[in-house]
Structure 1
Amino acid sequence: MAKPNPLKHPLLKYFISILLVSLSYILGIYTSSNNSTSPPLHEQKQPLNCHQLNFSLPVLDFESHHTLSPPQEPLRNLQFFNFCPPNFTNYCPCHDPSRETDFTAERFFSRERHCPEPYEKPMCLVPRPAGYKRPFSWPKSRDYAWFKNLPFKELSEVKKTQNWVRLEGDLLVFPGGGTSFRKGVKGYVDEIKRFVPLKSGSIRTVLDVGCGVFSMGSRCLISFPLFSQCKWLDGLYLMEIDRVLRPGGYWIFSGPPINWKANYKGSEVGAQELEQEQARLEDLAVRLCWKKVAEKGAIAAWRKPNNHIHCIIKSRIWKSPRFCTNSDPDAGWYKKMEPCITPLLNVTDIHDISGGSLEKWSKRLNIAPPRTKSEGISGAAFEGDNQLWKRRNNLSIVYDRGLIGTYMNWCSILDILLEMHRILRPEGAVIIRDHVDIIVEVKGIAEKMKWNGRILHSENGAFHPEKILLIDTCC
């Protein structure tokens, strides 16, 4: 009987195959690394005067190491993006004054958000102002800004007697006084606290509207004052404010025509016109079912009802505007204003809160709001989203948690990154979590923007396709 040939044993063939594949892979890596045209790490120069983030974690390489050249893409031959011309320093693509004449001025439509078409978007990096300095940290940034970061004197010169903004040496100072509030923003907010429970944690929304650069929002959120128009256009703007306000939300209005009897002497408008304007404002507020909670000095405040049961009953008596048949209270951009009341969700009792009651701030930040059920999101799924950054919440849930959010309608990764570069000043950071294929693509574009990126494993481990990209916006 012939002896079996050991070379034909199935197990031996298996081991030989593994050995050949391993040798081929090692040879491929060695060949690819020798043929690479990338400069050594020590040759990559970093921008001067820049404090880099300390990336002390190991480098993860997800680039392909085969020698077959992939199809050429538009950005593949681009080494770095060029900077835009110097006049782009303060460029804001969706609010570009040079494009206002392209739109109608009716109802200030030309001043609304109008983003450029794809062929109009500049494929360059918006440069920082000459002499740019790192901004002050919060909360000092509410009151001070380096003049060279926003070198415009016009407002400080035109409004120098009204205590809005002053140029002091190399600083812009924002006292926040204005014409009616000489004690500044702090004094203004202290006045509001007397009739709006700002510290109670129970408020969902407070909209503060003035007739100039003064705003409570500038004190709470940003260092730059907010502008608003004081023409109500037959109540259309007020109905839009009603749409945005959540149930039980407050609307605060300061300046003319409020308390016109005491303040008309300092106004450019006559007493009779101010009286009529405030009367129209008061009448529409009633027909919107708002309750006036206070009027003191040049400040007045109204509150939106928790539900519309009483409003529906009284609508004929008050001659209220009709209820909208198709209006989304969570819509953000490009929402056409309509002369109607956006209806609140139905309730069975006049004491109920439309959409359900929420926890007080800051507990509501991490507790599933009632609307998760109507959005088809279970408590377990919400908790999972809360622990990880896997899925986005719908805007309605974002709002109910007490957060601010909006959807981006720019679909290109490149568009989003260029816009992030415009908004983020040097010495900032970006954290992106996504599938490894997206992460690798983003990292490649970020490097062409002269950003430094590092890919990290998520808490799911090395074999999970979801990765984290940390970016240092140093340059």
Structure 2
Amino acid sequence: MLNFSHNNLNNEGRVRTVLDVGCGVASFGAYLLSSDIIAMSLAPNDVHQNQIQFALERGIPACLGVLGTKRLPYPSRSFELAHCSRCRIDWLQRDGILLLELDRLLRPGGYFAYSSPEAYAQDEEDLRIWKEMSALVERMCWRIAAKRNQTVIWQKPLTNDCYMERAPGTNPPLCRSDDDPDAVWGVPMEACITPYSDHDQKAKGSGLAPWPARLTSPPPRLADFGYSNEMFEKDTETWRQWVENYWNLLSPKIEANTLRNLMDMKANMGSFAAALKERNVWVMNVIPEDGPNTLKLIYDRGLIGTTHNWCEAFSTYPRTYDLLHAWTVFSDIEKKGCSAEDLLLEMDRILRPKGFIIIRDKQPVIDFVRKYLSALHWEAVATADS
């Protein structure tokens, strides 16, 4: 429908990260994998819980979540495309606040693919919804990129120009200048439009390299943290070496086709996941809620992840990950006064039978974990000093 060159779904690497809302068993995300597109498939933790479990059992990235009153746990400008196919979400409620949350998450020029009866307006109620939704997205400066039968694809603007040209008092308003669009942990949604940064305005886009080059290219938002390109490149190379060492230690124990769903419990810039590009795995990159919000760098690299506090349970089904990587996670929760025993139990809940856990931490943490191996029925299969 979008008529990308050569009918390439990923538009020559320019479409890489996708948000699938109300994803069912994540068949949309599964279909995109062959096009080098990775989708964060999201379904509410109500009647759809078991569907997320099915998705993860298929080896497809998926997460429990809900579009409600709080921001989704992803930074601004994370996705090239959002998708809703009969997802049964009332996008018009509360002044369009849920659609405005998608707007926050879409990159400049990003797309929202909406497939629903309202898009072809067969009856009076559908026609009313379609007219109201069309009016709302027009005020948000979205334009129709394609429309066919019951599917419409809107595109977000590349710059702030349209926002500045709206009549005074137009709703939804622009968000306050002191609003941090990347703050997500426990932050309420607001019915406002997130304008672009000066960088994005000048670049007329996100300035990202196409996939796969973006995986190892320093992201433009590095400057938000005061990180240099050299720091990024050193981090990437360090983790490449460490991951190679991990695999050398674990490979005698790994059975063929048993590793697919991986989690990096403290992902920093996502270099653990980047080092695994050539393996048939995907990584859920988790960023602590109280540390540097580097999740936007992870998405800018073409990877996916979420924000979490490891003093709490992770929002997933039991036995859904094949490998967990915990780099200084135990040291971090110790500083918070949280229970390391509870974290071990949570990791045991998340991990599949015969799954692996890599703990990289100070020696007292390793000694602490060793005490619980027999109680957890875990086996230490490899150790290393560095």
- For the aligned pair, the TM-score class normalised by the smaller chain equals 0.5 to 0.7
Amino acid of the structure 1 residue aligned with 2:129: E
Give, in whole Å, the separation in 2 of the partners of 1:253 and 1:375: 35
CA contact (8 A) 2:17 2:304 kept: no
Of 227, 230, 233, the residue aligned with 1:383 is 233
Q: How does 1:75-474 map to 2 (within 5 A)?
A: 197-203=9-15, 205-209=17-21, 216-217=28-29, 219-220=31-32, 223-224=54-55, 228-232=87-91, 233=93, 234-260=95-121, 264=122, 271-308=123-160, 310-316=161-167, 319-325=170-176, 326-347=178-199, 352-354=203-205, 356-389=206-239, 392-393=268-269, 394-409=294-309, 410=311, 411=333, 412=338, 413-457=340-384, 462=385, 467=386
- The amino acid that maps onto 1:321 is P
C-alpha contact 2:10 2:16 (8 A) present in aligned 1: no
Distance 1:247 1:378 in 2: 24
In 2, Cα distance between equivalents of 1:438 and 1:449:
16
TM superposition shift of 1:297: 1.8
Letter paired with 1:251: F
**Equivalents in 2 of 1:327, 1:255: separation in Å?**
33
**Partner amino acid, structure 2, of 1:288:** M
Cα displacement (A) at 1:248: 2.1
Residues 284 and 382 (structure 1), Cα distance of their counterparts in 2 relative to 1, 3 Å cut: same
The one-letter amino acid paired with 2:214 is R
- Tell me the SS of whatever aligns to 2:305: coil
Looking at structure 2, the residues matched to 448 and 317 of structure 1 have their Cα atoms a distance apart, in angstroms, of 65
TM-score under structure 1 length normalisation: 0.48
Task: Quote the residue 2:326 is aligned against.
Answer: none
Aligned to 2:80: none
Deviations 1:32-73 (A, max 9, x none): xxxxxxxxxxxxxxxxxxxxxxxxxxxxxxxxxxxxxxxxxx
CA distance in 2, matches of 1:211, 1:224: 9
User: Alpha-carbon deviations, 1:259-304, whole Å to 9, x = none?
Assistant: 12xxx3xxxxxx1111110111111111111121011122111112
Kindly provide the amino acid, as one letter, of the partner of residue 364 in structure 1.
Answer: R
Distance (whole Å) between structure 2 residues aligned to residue 446 and residue 192 of structure 1: 53
- Shift of residue 193 of structure 1? 7.2
Report the TM-score, using the length of structure 2 for normalisation. 0.58
Distance 1:219 1:285, change over 3 A: same
CA contact (8 A) 1:248 1:304 kept: yes
Cα deviation code 1:120-176 (max 9, x no counterpart): xxxxxxxxxxxxxxxxxxxxxxxxxxxxxxxxxxxxxxxxxxxxxxxxxxxxxxxxx
TM-superposed CA distance for 1:218, in Å, is 5.2
What is the alpha-carbon root mean square deviation over aligned residues?
3.1
8 A contact 1:205–1:245 mirrored in 2 = no
Structure 1 residue runs without a partner (length 5+): 1-190, 265-270, 468-475
CA contact (8 A) 2:17 2:303 kept: no
Is the alpha carbon distance of 1:192 and 1:313 closer, same or farther for their aligned partners in structure 2, counting shifts above 3 Å? closer
Letter in 2 for 1:254: S
Residues of 1 paired with 2:166 and 2:378: CA distance?
A: 58
Contact 2:2 2:145 in 1 (8 A): no
C-alpha distance in 2, partners of 1:405/1:383?
20
SS in 2 for 1:289: coil
CA 201–256 in structure 1, closer or farther in 2 if over 3 Å, else same: same
Partner of 2:282: none
Taking the aligned partners of 2:374 and 2:364, their CA distance within structure 1 comes to 16
Distance, in Å, in 1 between the alignment partners of 2:164 and 2:297 is 29
Matched residues in 2 for 1:193 and 1:434: separation?
Answer: 49
Aligned residue type for 1:402 = G
Q: In structure 1, how many angstroms separate the alpha carbons of the residues matched to 2:365 and 2:128?
A: 58
Which structure has more strand as a fraction of its residues? 2
The SS at the match of 1:246 is strand
1:290/1:254 CA distance change after superposition, 3 Å: same
Instruction: Identify the residue that residue 283 of structure 2 maps to in structure 1.
Output: none
Query: How much identity, in percent, do the aligned residues show?
Result: 36
TM superposition shift of 1:426: 0.7
Q: Greater relative contact order (Cα 8 A, min sep 6): structure 1 or 2?
A: 2
Q: Cα–Cα, structure 1 residues 245 and 446, in superposed 2: closer, same or farther, change >3 Å?
A: farther
CA contact (8 A) 1:364 1:402 kept: yes
Q: Helix, strand or coil: the match of 2:345?
A: helix
